[in-house]
Amino acid sequence: MNQAARSVVLHGLVIALLVAMFFVLPEYHSGNLARILVLAVFAMGYNVLFGYTGLLSLGHALFFASGMYGLGLSIQFLSASPMLAIVIGLITAVVVSGVIGFLALRTTGVAFMIVTLMFAQAGFLTVLFFGKYTRGDEGFVIQRAQRILFGVDLSQPLPRYFAALILFAICLCLIAWMVHSRFGKTLVAIRENEERARMLGYDIQRHKLMAVIISGTMSGAAGAAYALLFGYAGASFAAVQYSILPLLYVLLGGAGTTIGPLIGTVFMFYLIDISSEYTDAYLLIAGLALILLTLFAPHGIAGILRKKLAWLP
Amino acid sequence: MTDTKKSSIITSSSGGKIGGQTINKSMNRRTALKTLSAGVGAMAGVGALPGMMGCAHASDEPIRIGFQVHRTGIGAAYGRWYDRTTEAVVKRINDEGGINGRPIEIVAEDDGTDPKRGAEVVEKLATKHKCDVAFGTLFSHVVYGSAPRAGELAIPYFVVSEGHHVASGALNRYTLQPGITDVKSQVEAMGPFIKENLGKKVTMIFPDFAFGHDHRDYFSAAFESLGGEILEKIAIPPTETSFSKYFPKIPRETEVVYHVMVGPAVLTFVKELGEFFGPSRPEIFGFIDSLEAVDLSSPGLEFLEGTYFWEGNPRYAQEDQTEFDKAYREAVGVDESGASISDAKDVSTYAHMFGCWETMYVIKAGMEAAGYNGPDDRQKLIEAVESMTEMPHSMEHPQGAKLFNGKTHQVFGHQYISKVTDGKLVLAHTTSIEDTLYEDEVDYTSMSF
């Protein structure tokens, strides 16, 4: 079996497993998994930029929030249907990531991190500034009646789970395809040796900008999905911790792997969920786990798997 | 949540405390609860429990109340005292025989004062811990983030937040706020006192986020309708750490500065305000939210002498302290200055935490009125609470009498205005309940479950 076929089988199995999980898991865990799938899409978007292109952004909360508020505000103020609102959320994320990418990519390395962080902070403060519309830090509820897509009530467990899974599956397939595409391989080449890629004649800036837009749009899709599926949009999702979270998910799961973000999100979600049952200092436990993983598994959980299965995309 | 944490509040029907101390093993806790609740049930059967006669119950299992608590994050100081108050009220209710003869078991989960985690916690309380109701959320953004899940999971969600979110109609039929008044009623009720006693020309200083905007909008509208004048509205960004540059915006003719700053920078705010005005200051009126859990004798707060504060419940025991406040204060472990009995530096969030006490009694009353037996009776519980109206000043409502509006799911009550006198908050005025009422903005009872 060649690498492409293995990739199709692997990702097909992951999706099939996730379909089965809904019917096997107890209600609490299937509910969690719906949330995890949305957050995994966020992490997958981050992974496009960090894992495949080698650009460390600290501003992805802005992209997540762009999708979230693009959808949420259009429902609130334009009475947009969920489908139209999703489109508006995605367009918002495309535009925001395009503009931020265009400006931030004038810098590299640490400066890129700082510039993206600053843009995200500016976005967070903008949400607060326009509190009359966004309700600032309090945020606003997207009512159940506003979350019915093509007659399907997305507030119900089954539709919510499968809506999250469909989004996840689309993004997973896109990334799996991208990894094997000429574009994806160019991104990896940029990550590995930007100067060499430039010398070989690749348009580095264009590829990086495309990576930022794909990454930001995927993150925005996650933000829009979160608002639509869980009925809430608020400024906390634009705050700095939501720029750090996808980085942690990807680091834990394995940067530059297709299934790493999902693994990392599951790991992190349950690390917090379970450790918070034992102590109020659960973030300390999360921090320790991160340190240990960084020391003993610097390529993340999927990185360990890749040592055994070198073909793992 | 481990059983260690979950079982932090278990009390015996005879008043001997089992919880408060930790029971380490699940079986021990469950066994103890079954034994206790069986004892309570037996007592109820012979009419030994006040208010319990005739209340049949299908199960001796504890009533599980999910406590969404801010143990970490920005709300941790409030969460600590909400925790203690909840522990105290559950002990008292269990000592009195529980609810319908069943003891209360609190299942606490930290939400990190974060709306995303808040929604996850509500889900966990409902689907994993199988709680009967969820309770206790304070910060508004966490309520907003969590309420949709509560509605979808059809679990009654009793918030203790003072936000206007419930009464505004933004939430759902499963979300109620029967134990603490909301910010709109609090703010609007301050207008008459300020205009009559402090001045007619007000400058407002508030944090530039939703909490501050509520004050800006509700107070200015109410005050102007009384004939007062808002000279300036000074919004301060939440990231600000120094405030001196904002004070020159205060117009010279200002008679009253109205402030509602919150967060760790509040001490700097007060200190810099004092330095700006020196000895010739206008009247100053603030909301105690600024100084909840903060010792009034902290360096830099001397400037507050002679200024006024809204208090949800007077922190200092007053000369005419009621028997209810005295007993409540003792039960929650707070001294006459509003600090912990065991640590004078551990100042309580006295203006808000009574909401946990009163809400728990509303849950008890609602469950008893509804003949609550289990999750199938959740709608009956909501309807029972919706049908409540007057709540007399009592041990169940030690902060004062209340009036519950079933349509808006919001309670209304007296508000207190205190003056800082010799470093203490001395009650200067108590509003009537009527002062706090406003037009209904929603009728939740017309919504389907």
DSSP sequence for A74-93:
HHHHH---HHHHHHHHHHHH
Write the residue in B110, B141, B238 that is nearest to A234 by C-beta.
B141
pLDDT of residue A210 exceeding 70, the answer is yes
Selection from B254, B255, B192, B180 nearest residue B219 by Cα: B192
CATH for A45: 1.10.3470
Q: Which residues of B301-335 are buried (b: 16+ CB within 10 A; e: fewer)?
A: bebbeebbbbbbbbbbbbeeeeebbeebbebbbbb
End-to-end Cα spacing for chain A = 14
CA separation for the pair B14, B265 (Å, rounded): 46
pLDDT of residue A307 exceeding 90, the answer is no
Helix (H) or strand (E) holding A283: helix A282-296
Per the CB < 8 A criterion, the answer to whether B179 and B158 are in contact is yes
Q: What is the pLDDT of residue B51?
A: 37
Q: What is the pLDDT of residue B36?
A: 40
Q: Do B128 and A139 touch (CB under 8 A)?
A: no
Selection from A219, A90, A77, A221 nearest residue A146 by Cα: A77
Pairing of strands B308-311, B416-421: antiparallel
CA separation for the pair A129, A126 (Å, rounded): 5
User: What is the dihedral sign for C-alpha A180, A182, A186, A187?
Assistant: negative
CA separation for the pair A197, A186 (Å, rounded): 8
Q: What is the pLDDT of residue B9?
A: 40
Surface of B (245-304) touching A: CB under 8 A: none
Q: How many CB atoms lie within 10 A of CB B283?
A: 17
Strands (E), A235-289: none
pLDDT of residue A259 exceeding 70, the answer is yes
Q: Do B149 and A231 touch (CB under 8 A)?
A: yes
Query: HEC string of B327-374?
Result: HHHHHHCECCCCEECCCCCCECCHHHHHHHHHHHHHHHHHHHHHCCCC
Selection from A104, A103, A75, A101 nearest residue A89 by Cα: A75
Contacts of A27 in chain B (CB under 8 A): 127
Selection from A252, A263, A249 nearest residue A292 by Cα: A252
The amino acid sitting at A147 is R
Selection from B260, B202, B261, B253 nearest residue B226 by Cα: B202
User: What is the dihedral sign for C-alpha B56, B60, B61, B63?
Assistant: positive
Coil, strand, or helix at residue B68? strand
Instruction: Give the single-character DSSP code of A294.
Output: H
Supply A33's token pair.
């998994």
Supply B282's token pair.
């206008």
Interface with B, mutate which of A27, A33, A229, A232 (most B CBs under 10 A): A232
Pairing of strands B256-259, B283-287: parallel
Q: In chain A, which residues touch B (CB < 8 A)?
A: 26-28, 31-32, 35, 125, 128-129, 131-132, 135-144, 155-156, 230-232, 234-237, 272-273, 276-278, 280, 282-283
Give the tens place of pLDDT for each residue, A118-154. Answer: 999 999 999 988 988 999 889 999 999 999 999 999 9
Coil, strand, or helix at residue B67? strand
Q: What share of chain B is helix, strand, coil (3-state, %, to 5)?
A: 40, 20, 40
Per the CB < 8 A criterion, the answer to whether B97 and B43 are in contact is yes
Residue A313 within a domain: no
Which residue does chain A place closest to B108, by CA atoms?
Answer: A277
Q: What is the pLDDT of residue A287?
A: 87
End-to-end Cα spacing for chain B = 29
Is the CB of B69 inside 8 Å of chain A's CB atoms? no
Selection from A275, A276, A280, A286 nearest residue B72 by Cα: A280
Quick check: do B3-181+351-413 and B183-311+414-436 share a fold?
yes
What are the 10-residue block averages of pLDDT along chain B, 449 residues in total? 38 33 38 42 39 47 96 90 97 96 96 94 96 94 95 96 94 97 95 95 91 91 95 89 92 95 80 88 91 86 91 95 96 96 94 97 98 96 97 97 98 97 95 95 94
Contacts of A129 in chain B (CB under 8 A): 208
Q: Count H helices and E strands in chain B, helices first.
A: 11, 15
Residue A153 within a domain: yes
CA separation for the pair B370, B368 (Å, rounded): 5
Give the tens place of pLDDT for each residue, A214-238. Answer: 999 999 999 999 999 999 999 999 9
Q: What topology does CATH give the domain B183-311+414-436?
A: Rossmann fold (3.40.50)
Output A262-268 pairs: Cβ under 8 A, ≥24 positions apart. A262/A14, A262/A36, A262/A37, A262/A40, A262/A43, A262/A44, A262/A168, A262/A172, A263/A300, A263/A301, A263/A302, A264/A43, A264/A300, A264/A301, A265/A36, A265/A39, A265/A40, A265/A43, A266/A36, A266/A40, A267/A301
Question: Which residues constitute the domain of residue A284?
Answer: 3-308
Percent of chain A topping pLDDT 70: 100
Write the residue in B71, B151, B209 that is nearest to A136 by C-beta.
B209
Write the residue in B124, B144, B211 that is nearest to A141 by C-beta.
B144
Supply B250's token pair.
């205060």
Per the CB < 8 A criterion, the answer to whether B407 and B444 are in contact is yes
Q: What is the pLDDT of residue A1?
A: 67
Coil, strand, or helix at residue B258? strand
Model-level pTM?
Answer: 0.86
Residue A124 within a domain: yes
Supply A180's token pair.
């094997």
Is the CB of B114 inside 8 Å of chain A's CB atoms? yes
Q: Do A276 and B110 touch (CB under 8 A)?
A: yes
- How far away is chain A from the Cα of B119, in angstroms, using its nearest Cα? 8
Interface with A, mutate which of B4, B213, B444, B447 (most A CBs under 10 A): B213
CA separation for the pair B147, B191 (Å, rounded): 31
The CATH code for residues B3-181+351-413 is 3.40.50.2300
Residue A27 within a domain: yes
Q: Give me the residue spans of the domains in chain B.
A: 3-181+351-413, 183-311+414-436
Per the CB < 8 A criterion, the answer to whether A35 and A230 are in contact is yes
Pairing of strands B63-69, B133-135: parallel
